[in-house]
A and B are shown apart, each in its own frame.
Chain A
Amino acid sequence: MNKDQFEKFLDAALKRHTRPTPTDDAAVERVLKRIESPLPRQKQPLWRLPNVLLDWQFAPAWSRVAALACCAAIGFVIGIAGVDRRFDGADARLTVASSADLGAIVFEPEALTGARP
């Protein structure tokens, strides 16, 4: 076999050896059976959550109006009760209103002399 013949032989042999084989129906059935339920949990895309958060709907609907009313009510209650105020800030304001000696509350006496800063 010379080189030209060899090239032709090689091309033909590659086509013969790499061509798709007839479908093995039994193997296909086995694979399809193995991918039946129960299937594993699907992985959700990471960008789905921001999309949900950004998907604002302004059309009136009873569920959205109810949600808005709830938010408003909760906000009103929090505002009235003052839950959002910091406790140390509240204490300081209370001290200023009731006593001139603010340092006595805020600072510890010096350990050696007992003097207050």
Chain B
Amino acid sequence: MDDSDEALMARVARGDERAFRTLGSRHVPAMLGVARRILGNAADAEDVAQEAMLRVWTFAPRWQPLAQFRTWLTRVVVNLCIDRKRRAPWVALEAAGEIVDPALGPGDKAESDERERLVQTAIGELPARQRVAILLTYGDGMSNAQVAEILDTSVSAVETLLVRGKQNLRRALDSVIDKDG
């Protein structure tokens, strides 16, 4: 039996709950990760992943395989996250700033921690679409074309989002340059 996402979606469109569960177990982990990195909040990420999967079920009969299922689902998740971000402020991930070089001394470590915290905060304060573009490009290694498809925009618009996002980050992290250089 064809077990591709598209074949499973065709079965879901006919009301096959088993195919829906297979799709869920295949994609929920990644979608949770995307939502968590955009929202910075695990509980909200779970809500978004649930909502996205319910939309998959509800709209399966209307789904057209114009894009890859994974791309479409990521778009749904990203849009739900952006909607949610409009309503709620960003909360930093508690795990941020843990990745430091163990060879550093206590003073260096504190400074490194501070920089990591600043970067994390700066990413969190970016406008939603800039943050999503940066997350998908740097975090998931997606091409600009893939990001453009997810954000429903052009490749050049994605490039602009990335450039502006990095400009904003440079501006927010000016203190890092000034302090040391």
Contact = CB atoms under 8 A, between A and B. Distances in A.
B29 A23 contact: yes
B181 A1 contact: yes
A35 B57 contact: yes
Interface residues of B, number: 49
A81 interface: no
B181 to A, nearest CB: 5
A27 B135 CA distance: 21
Secondary structure call for the B interface: helix
Contact of B57 (A5, A10, A39): A39
Interface string B141-163: 00000000000000000000000
Contacts of B37: 18, 20-21
Given A27-B46, A31-B32, A17 B119 contact: yes
B59 to A, nearest CB: 6
Given A13-B116, A27-B46, A40 B139 contact: no
Contacts of A15: 138-139
A23 B42 CA distance: 12
Given A35-B24, A35-B50, A43 B32 contact: no
Nearest to A11: B138
Interface string A69-89: 000000000000000000000
Contact of A3 (B25, B32, B139, B181): B181
A34 interface: yes
Contact of B58 (A1, A34, A42): A42
Nearest to A38: B17
B180 A35 contact: no
Contact of B42 (A24, A34, A36, A43): A24
A28 B32 contact: yes
Interface of B: 13, 15, 17, 20-21, 24-25, 28-30, 32-33, 36-37, 42, 45-46, 49-50, 53-54, 57-62, 95-96, 99, 115-116, 119-120, 123, 134-135, 138-140, 166, 169-170, 173, 176-177, 179-181
Interface of A: 1-3, 5-6, 9-11, 13-21, 23-24, 27-28, 30-32, 34-37, 39-45, 48
